[in-house]
Amino acid sequence: MITITNLSKNFTGRTLFQDVTLSIFPGEKIGLTGPNGSGKSTLFSILLGEMESTEGRVQRQKNLRIGYLPQEVRFHSQRTVLEEVTSGDSRIRALLDEKHQLEDEGRAAGTRYGDVLQELEVLGIYDLEHRAEKVLSGLGFEEQDFHRPILELSGGWQMRTLLAKLLVYPYDLLLLDEPTNYLDLNATLWLKDFLAAYQGTFVMISHDRIFLNDVTNYTIILENGQMAKVKGNYEAYEAQKGVEQKHLERRKKVVDKKRKQLERFTRRFHAQPNRAAAVRNKRKMIERLDDIELQQDVKSIRDFEFPPTRESGYMVAALNAVSKSYGGVKVYDGLCLDMTKGQKICLVGPNGAGKSTLLKMLAGVLKPTKGEIKFGHKVKCGYFSQTRLDVLSPNRSVLDELASAVTASVAAAQMRSLLGLFNFHGDDVFKLVKVLSGGEKSRLILAKLLIDPPNFILLDEPTTHLDLDGVQALTRAFQKYQGTLCFISHDLFFVKEVANHIIEVEGGRIRSYPGGLEYYLEKKRGGFAAPSKAQESQKSDKRIRREKPRAENTRAQREREQHKAALRRLSQIKNETAQLQKQIKDLDTESYVKARVLSNAYGKDKQLLKEYGARLKEIPGLQRRLAEQISALNEERDSIQG
């Protein structure tokens, strides 16, 4: 489909990648991964023909239809969500126009008309709406949102609309730049299943290894200016890399030993004229020995720590009967909430529940419609917005942007060394904000928080766009942070490691859980951990069967009752099946969460890792048993209905 030959790309003296040759074939599901700023999004721009390469060529198959999901960018459309998703691309629109024209001209009996219909059918246009609705629901849209104008939606939901559109159409090739960035857990899981079953071809950039593992069959790694495509998912790539590394290490040992021997020989005999030829010979051999360099893992960000902040009073923020509505829609009504020193609060809840609104009101970006928010003694607030351009100016340089965050004068050298921690080296600090990669922007905002750290930090999805090193460095820093934190994050690893308090926001109400993610999940699980419904149903089943018709019952009455009992049982079966299916899904979620935590764990808390590992092994068995219960129920249902 696409062939890349000897491709190189430089930006003012910096080489992103060099001499890359690879091809993309139909049916490949490729995961593209690599550190922030390595050039992944740039590669997409080149494949799309939006950007020139410095050297080399990209050949695209003729008439290749590429669907592209950019990393940021809002998209402008006057349509509603469903209209947009079903509106088709230029080819479909042209065909539809032609169809209408032929109809108008009374040529609906002609062969061309037949061809047009046939082509539209191949493109799956007839069950478009149905597919669109399914995909939109999967991505978390409620039915009433289907008909909302896109312009009304937040950036995150606009991206979802675009993603839905790409998934509904039969594109030849999809280029997806971090599609999970704006998705919550449920939508992520849905997308994972969708892409795993997807029949087409795609290249997907992602930093989420677990996600990549589940959906890809090829991997492209972009690192240190090199790009390599390997067969298999990320796990397979890592295994292969491990084998190569071991092989290299062994060879290096052999070569090092040889070199030492030769050097010893030349040292010992270099002064003896009768050995001069032999010494010369050995020196040549040393020169000819391979220089084996083991790849060092380069960290894309160094660990950083928040310097001590000025302590605030015990009470950090108090919301007093706060109400907030947008137009006619009430998001909060009379909300009361206290936040106290040292709390690291994670706001959870479905999309659109008002988490960002709450955070924005705390940050002072939005004013409550009614009520007030009071801050405690010496509280100083800092805000990391999900919409970066709220807090970054596109035309400033990186250095100026950082300087804008300090009140007192800070030496340029100090700022540059801080920027170095976040991987802005040398001339990088003079780059304009607008050319930064997604992850680089996130890093810059963090650097701004760090240079003069506030004691109350509000974060809206801080790990979005960050690579694995970035997420780990951030996690460690916020674990140690002494101030108070209130954040929204769909990165379960980050939430688990950082939060010590969870606030659930739903339907304008909040519920506080004074513990971390595990505690919260435990409490939530408690809700349906009651005796297995399937067992209960067996009991009631027996009850029904044992019910002996009383002697005085007429036959008709008996039949009526049996019929009623059967209907009752059918509805029970339906509920139980739904319950069991939910349990299977919950286990899926748990398994994804735990696998993610494991994949990011860096050697600490061995006990926990062991527990997680054991649980992960257990889950498929549990799911199998649940599935068996479901099929038993289905059989029973069929026998009743039959």
- Interface positions with ligand ATP (CB under 6 A): 11-12, 16, 34, 36-42, 71, 431, 435-440, 465, 467
Name which of 71 and 629 has its Cβ closer to Mg ion.
71
Query: Which of 34-42, 109-117, 324-332, 559-567 is the region at the interface with Mg ion (rule: CB under 5 A)?
Result: 34-42
528: partner contacted, choices ligand ATP, Mg ion, none (Cβ within 5-8 A by kind): none
Q: Which is nearer to ligand ATP, 453 or 470 (CB)?
A: 470
Closer by beta carbon to Mg ion, 16 or else 447: 16
Shortest CB 321 distance to Mg ion, Å = 43
Residue 152 DSSP one-character state: G
Strand order in the sheet with 2-11: 14-24, 2-11, 55-60
Q: Among 33, 38, 41, 572, which residue interacts with Mg ion (rule: CB under 5 A)?
A: 41
* Min separation Cβ 439 and ligand ATP, Å: 3
* 438 touching Mg ion, by CB under 5 A: yes
**Tokens standing for residue 219:** 């991997």
Sheet with 501-506: list strands edge to edge: 381-384, 456-460, 484-488, 344-348, 501-506, 509-513
CB atoms inside a 10 Å sphere around CB 61? 12
Chain position carrying tokens 């849209």: 141
- Minimal CB distance to ligand ATP: which residue? 439
User: H-helix or E-strand containing 599?
Assistant: helix 555-600
- Measure CA 327 to chain center: 32
Cβ distance to ligand ATP smaller for residue 33 or 188: 33
Shortest distance, CB of residue 437 to Mg ion, whole angstroms?
A: 5
Task: Name the residue nearer to ligand ATP (CB basis): 176 or 346.
Answer: 176
Residue 193 and residue 214: Cα distance in Å, rounded? Answer: 8
74 by DSSP, 3-state: which?
Answer: coil
Closest distance to Mg ion from the beta carbon of 20 (Å): 17
CB of 427 to ligand ATP, least distance (A): 10
Spacing of C-alpha 109 from chain mean position: 50
| Least Å from the CB of residue 45 to ligand ATP | 8
42 binds, among Mg ion, ligand ATP, none (CB under 5 to 8 A by kind): ligand ATP
Question: Who's near 145: CB < 8 A, 6+ residues apart?
Answer: 81, 136, 157
37 binding partner (options ligand ATP, Mg ion, none; Cβ < 5 to 8 Å by kind): ligand ATP
Question: DSSP per residue over 213-224, as a string?
Answer: HHH-SEEEEEET
Which of ligand ATP, Mg ion, none has residue 16 at its interface (CB below 5 to 8 Å by kind)? ligand ATP
The answer to whether 1 and 190 have CB atoms below 8 angstroms apart is: no
Q: Are 322 and 335 in contact (CB under 8 A)?
A: yes
Whether residue 164 contacts residue 70, with contact meaning beta carbons closer than 8 Å, is answered with no
CB of 472 to Mg ion, least distance (A): 19
Q: Please choose, out of 32-40, 119-127, 502-510, 550-558, the segment that lies near Mg ion by the rule CB under 5 A.
A: 32-40
Instruction: Give the count of beta carbons closer than 10 Å to the beta carbon of residue 565.
Output: 15
Q: Judged by CB, which is closer to Mg ion: 16, or 510?
A: 16
Please, which residues have CB within 8 angstroms of residue 472's CB and are 6 or more apart in sequence? 600, 602
Cβ proximity of 429 and 285 under 8 Å: no
- Minimum distance of ligand ATP from residue 178's CB (angstroms): 7
The b-or-e profile of 325-343 (16+ CB within 10 A means b, else e) is: eeeeeebbeebebebbbeb
Q: Does 516 bind Mg ion (CB under 5 A)?
A: no
The residue (of 9 and 355) whose beta carbon lies closer to ligand ATP is 9
Distance CA 462, CA 33 (A): 19
CB of 513 to Mg ion, least distance (A): 35
# binding residues, Mg ion (CB under 5 A): 5
Please report how close the Cβ of residue 205 comes to ligand ATP at its closest, in angstroms.
7
Closest contact distance (angstroms) between CB of 71 and ligand ATP is 6
Residue nearest to Mg ion (CB): 41
Q: How far is the CB of 84 from Mg ion (least distance, A)?
A: 24
293 phi/psi in degrees, rounded to 5 = -105, 125
Rounded Cα distance, 67 and 75, in Å: 14
Closer Cβ to Mg ion, 41 or 309, answer by number: 41
Binding piece for Mg ion, criterion CB under 5 A, among 165-173, 185-193, 412-420, 431-439: 431-439
Instruction: Name residue 223's beta-bridge partners.
Output: 226
Q: With the C-alpha atoms ordered 142, 146, 150, 156, is the resulting torsion angle positive or negative?
A: positive
Q: Which does 465 bind (CB under 5 to 8 A by kind): ligand ATP, Mg ion, none?
A: ligand ATP
Nearer to ligand ATP, 225 or 371 (CB): 225
| Nearest to ligand ATP of 99, 431 (CB atom) | 431
Say if CB 468 and CB 207 are below 8 A apart: yes
**Residue 577 binds which entry of ligand ATP, Mg ion, none, with Cβ cut-offs from 5 to 8 Å by kind?**
none
Closest distance to Mg ion from the beta carbon of 422 (Å): 16
Min CB(470)–ligand ATP separation in Å? 9
φ and ψ at 329, to 5 degrees?
Answer: -90, 120
- Which one of 38, 53, 71, 216 is in contact with Mg ion (CB under 5 A)? 71
- CB nearer to ligand ATP: pick between 254 and 435: 435
Which of ligand ATP, Mg ion, none does 431 bind, CB closer than 5 to 8 A by kind? ligand ATP
With CB under 5 to 8 Å by kind, the binding choice for 440 among ligand ATP, Mg ion, none is: ligand ATP
For ligand ATP, give the closer residue by CB, 298 or 435: 435
The nearer residue to ligand ATP, 52 or 287, going by C-beta atoms, is 52
Q: Write the burial class of residue 288 (CB in 10 Å: 0-12 exposed, 13-18 middle, 19+ buried).
A: exposed
Q: 490 CB contacts (<8 Å, ≥6 apart)?
A: 183, 184, 185, 188, 461
Which phi and psi (to 5°) does residue 405 adopt? -90, -10
Closest to ligand ATP by CB, 467 vs 491, is: 467
Helix, strand, coil % in the chain, rounded to nearest 5:
50, 20, 30
User: What residues line the site for Mg ion (CB under 5 A)?
Assistant: 40-41, 71, 437-438
